[in-house]
Amino acid sequence: MAMMRLRREDPRVVGTFRLHRRLGAGGMGVVYLGSDKRGQRVALKVIRPDLAEDQEFRSRFAREVSAARRIRGGCTARLVAADLDADRPWFATQYVPGPSLHDKVNEEGPLSPAQVASIGAALSEGLLAVHDAGVVHRDLKPSNILLSPKGPRIIDFGIAWATGASTLTHVGTAVGSPGFLAPEQVRGAAVTPATDIFALGATLAYTCTADSPFGQGSSEVMLYRVVHEEAQLAGVPDALAPLLASCLAKDPADRPSTLSLSLRLKEIAAREAHGLSGGPLENGSGAGPGWERVERRSAERPTGQRAEEYARQRTERRTAGTSSPRQHPSRPPVPRDASARPAGPASAAGKNPRTGGRNGRRVPAGRPTGRNGSRTPVRTTSGGRRPGPDRRLLRQRVIVFVVVTLLVALGIAAAQGCQGPTRGLGAERPGTAVPSAGVGGPYGAGEQNP
């Protein structure tokens, strides 16, 4: 989205938000890029002064802001804050980074059918959340759709009205964009969810052709075509043309529901993404391009005598696999009986003297293995039992137990040897007196000074 510097007449602070750039201007007011104290970026729209003086507009605007708070869904820009009692009412929505659908098509040209169907399916889900909240957008168009990294987002609910509300702010003045307005909006009739379906159909047609389905011209000419002429869908792909034509029906009752449109667009998006358009191929087979890979794989399978030989070989391999271990075709079979093994440099136990394993297989040091690599004790050809991991572990435990026992015994003996002389020092000898170390000095209590 293009950003412009703030002008002299633009405010610098609105509410608790600081304004940084201009994002654009419309019929209701100016949209700014702002941020709050935490750094969260918002798109803040300030209402025009003349509309701010219209009490009827203020009351309707208050009702629609309240309804917009109820909208839940990932395909819309969430309402963050609003002030309906300010001198110039304003509201702030979540800022969505990314170009608008209008700028995308204007710079890169029409999108592919798969992209159009995918964007349309996401927008249909967004409209479904809007309609479930009892709100009609009324101004859905390519410039009000932002292509964020997480998918398309619907923005600018500034002129959205509740279901069944009138479309006129003043008598004879239709609110919206010519070329994307529904016929009932032009006539001043009540708006319904079908009104947004018409606008979505015109938006997707623009995405396919880079032009409005009602051409170009003045507002009066465009509004007349919307009411009295059929939409031009010559450049729309065949996969989308019938569905978009039903969205652009003059009678709201003839348009598909929001849920039905979402499901059909998802189906078209999946089919186009996989190349299964369902149209005839150049060879007249009637299958879509996605079936060419399946036909190619089928043609590569053996047929006739080759197929019979292939089936016989598979049967023999399956039968041999059930009675003996699978062997490589280029290796000779290894006899299961140890006595039938050919004599060679291997030992009687079948070990290779260089690698230490059976039949030339290398066995890591310290990791005795059995047949098929299992770490279990196996019997040798001499009838003895080679120690496996359980016996070796038991042996280690016994050694540790003996060592610990010896250490404890040596510690006890050393302690007893140290205590023997200590007891001798405290014993009385004949003919000697043990001096007292009392607190009375060198003489104990009760002794007389000589």
Catalytic positions, written as ranges: 139
Residue appearing with tokens 């510690």:
411
Report the SS3 class of residue 156.
Answer: coil
Measured in whole angstroms, how far is the alpha carbon of residue 369 from the centre of its chain? 46
Residue appearing with tokens 């159909």:
201
Residue appearing with tokens 């938000």:
17
Residue among 290, 288, 271, 274 nearest 121 (CA): 271
| Pairing assessment for the beta strands 135-136 and 151-154 based on DSSP bridges | unpaired
| 136 C-beta neighbours (distance < 10 Å), count | 30
Q: Specify which residues 45 forms β-bridges with.
A: 31, 91
SS3 content of the chain, % helix, strand, coil (to 5): 40, 15, 45
Report the SS3 class of residue 43.
Answer: strand
What is the C-alpha end-to-end distance of the chain, expressed in Å? Answer: 115
Residue 180 structure tokens = 């994307």
Please state at what angle helix 113-132 crosses helix 193-209, rounded to 10 degrees: 160
Residue 300 structure tokens = 């590569």
Q: Which residues contact 89 (CB under 8 A, 6 or more apart)?
A: 46, 47, 52, 58, 61, 82, 83
Query: How far apart (Å, rounded) are the C-alpha atoms in residues 387 and 381?
Result: 14
Name the CA radius of gyration of the chain, rounded. 45
Annotated ligand binding at 45? The verdict is: yes
Residue 48 structure tokens = 């025009």
Query: How far apart (Å, rounded) are the C-alpha atoms in residues 175 and 159?
Result: 8
DSSP string of 2-37, one letter each residue: --BPPPTTS-SEETTEEEEEEEEE-SSEEEEEEE-T
Residue 290 structure tokens = 């996605």
Residue 253 structure tokens = 């009752």
Amino acid at 221: V
Residue 285 structure tokens = 């087979």
| Pairing assessment for the beta strands 151-154 and 173-174 based on DSSP bridges | unpaired
* Residue numbering of the annotated binding site: 45
Could you list the residues known to form a binding site for ATP, using ranges.
45
